[in-house]
Amino acid sequence: MLLSKNQIINLVQALPHNNMINKRASEGEVIFDYVIFLVLLSLFAFGMFMVVNNYRNGAAVWGDFYVKEVVKVINNAKVGDEIFLDVHRATEIAKKNEQSFSTIFNFDNQKNEVCVKLGNRKECYSFFNDVDIIAPEIKLGVPDKISGKYVNVLHFNVTENRKVEENNVA
Amino acid sequence: MLLNRKGETGNQMISLYYIFLMIVIAVGLTAGIVLFFGGEYQFKQIDADEMYLKVANCLRDNFPEEVFKSFYSVCGINENVSKEYFRIKICSGSDSCMNEEEKSRVMFVLGSDFQSCELAGAKGNTNFPRCAKGMVDSNGVRYEIIAGSRQILRRVA
C-alpha cells in the first residue's frame, strides 16, 4: 500500500505526540505575548490618564488665568484698598475637582506670592507691589449688580507690608 | 518547525501593530492637549508695563535723589521679587538707555542683558523677557525707564 506525499504529512501531523508539543509551546508563547501586551496597555492607559487628568475641567488653564489676574489687581492696589473679585468660575471648577474652597486661593506675604489650586496642582505667581494681603475669604452667593445673578466672590484687604509670619488662605 | 516559525511571526506582527497604534494614539492625544491647553496665559508684557508705571509714578511723585537712594522702600516695590524676576534701568541724559554703560548717566539698574528686550528674533519667543520703556519728567529732569519681566507661571504639585 503506497501513500501519497500529502497523506504522509497529514498522518505525521495527526500524531498525538507531535500535537501536544506544539500546543504547549503555542500556549506559553501566547500567554507571554498577552502579558507583555497587557503591561504595555496598562502603562499607556496610566500615562494618558495622567496627561488628561492634569487638564480635567480646565483646572490648569483657569488656574493660570486666575492667579495672574489676582496678581495684576494686587500690583495695582494701594494700601487700604478692599478688593472684591468675581471668582465664580474658579469655585465651580474646584468643586468639580473635589477641591475645598478654603484652599483655592493662597496668599504668601513672606514670599509675595499668590497660588491658585483648582485641580491636583497649584499655579503660583509673584507680585512686586510691597504690600500684605490680609483676611482673604471667599464669599458665597453675593448678588451681582450687573447680571443680577448670585456669584461667589474673593474678598481681601491690602495693607502695608508687615512681613507677617503666617500664610493667609482663602 | 517551519509551520511554528510562521505562526510566531504572525503574532509578533500583530503585537507590533498594537504597539504602533498605542504610540500613535498617545502622541496624538498628548499633542492635541498640549497644543490646545499648554500655551501659558501670556503675562510678561503686562507685568513689565505695570512695573514701568509703578517706577514712573514713583519718580514723578518723589524727589529723584530719594528714589535713587532707597529705591525699593520709596517706590513700594518688593526687593526680593524684583531681583528674581524683573530688570529695571533708569537713565538720564542718555541717547540709548538700553545700551548705556556710562555710570554717571545710569541712575539705577537692576539686572542685566537689556539688549534682549529689543532682540528682533525674540518677539515670537515666549521664553525671552518682555519689556516696557518710556520717558518721565521729574523736577525738570527727563528720565528714561526700562522695565522688563521674565517671570513665568510656577506649577507646584
Q: Are residues A153 and A88 in the same domain?
A: yes
Q: Do B19 and A124 touch (CB under 8 A)?
A: no
- Please give the pLDDT value at position A164: 47
Render pLDDT for A97-137 as a digit per residue (tens, 0 to 9).
Answer: 889 999 999 999 999 999 999 988 899 999 999 999 999 99
Q: Are residues A19 and A101 in the same domain?
A: no
DSSP symbol at B105: T
Beta strands in chain B (DSSP E): 86-92, 106-110, 130-138, 141-149, 154-156
Quick check: A79 pLDDT over 50? yes
Rounded to the nearest integer, the mean pLDDT of chain B is 85
Q: Are residues A21 and A84 in the same domain?
A: no
CA distance B48 to chain A (A): 11
Question: Is the ipTM value over 0.90, yes or no?
Answer: no
Q: What range defines the domain where residue A152 resides?
A: 59-169
Q: Are residues A140 and A66 in the same domain?
A: yes
Q: Are residues A47 and A95 in the same domain?
A: no
User: Could you tell me the pTM of the whole model?
Assistant: 0.74
- Please give the pLDDT value at position B156: 87
- Residues of chain A with C-beta less than 8 angstroms from the C-beta of B157: 120-121
Contact (Cβ atoms closer than 8 angstroms) between residue B124 and residue B34: no
Closest Cβ–Cβ partner in A47, A76, A121 for B157? A121
Q: Are residues A100 and A150 in the same domain?
A: yes
- pLDDT category of residue B10 using cuts at 50, 70 and 90: low
Q: Are residues A163 and A125 in the same domain?
A: yes
Let me know how long chain A is: 170
Whole-number Å distance between alpha carbons of B79 and A56: 37
Q: Please give the interface size between A and B, counted as residue pairs whose CB atoms are below 8 Å apart.
A: 101
Q: Are residues A37 and A110 in the same domain?
A: no
Contacts for B26 with CB less than 8 Å, ≥ 6 apart: A44, A47, A48
Q: Are residues A127 and A63 in the same domain?
A: yes
Render pLDDT for B104-132 as a digit per residue (tens, 0 to 9).
Answer: 889 999 988 888 887 877 777 777 888 99
Whole-number Å distance between alpha carbons of A77 and A138: 19
Nearest to B110 by CA among B143, B77, B152: B77
Over residues B44-72, the mean pLDDT reads: 93
Q: Are residues A74 and A23 in the same domain?
A: no
- Please give the pLDDT value at position B31: 85
Q: Are residues A37 and A116 in the same domain?
A: no
Domain-ending residue, one of A33, A54, A75: A54
- Residues of chain B with C-beta less than 8 angstroms from the C-beta of A24: none
Over residues A35-60, the mean pLDDT reads: 80
Domains contained in chain A, number:
2
Identify which has the larger pLDDT, A34 or A133. A133
Identify which has the larger pLDDT, B4 or A8. A8
Q: Are residues A154 and A71 in the same domain?
A: yes
Q: Do A120 and B156 touch (CB under 8 A)?
A: no
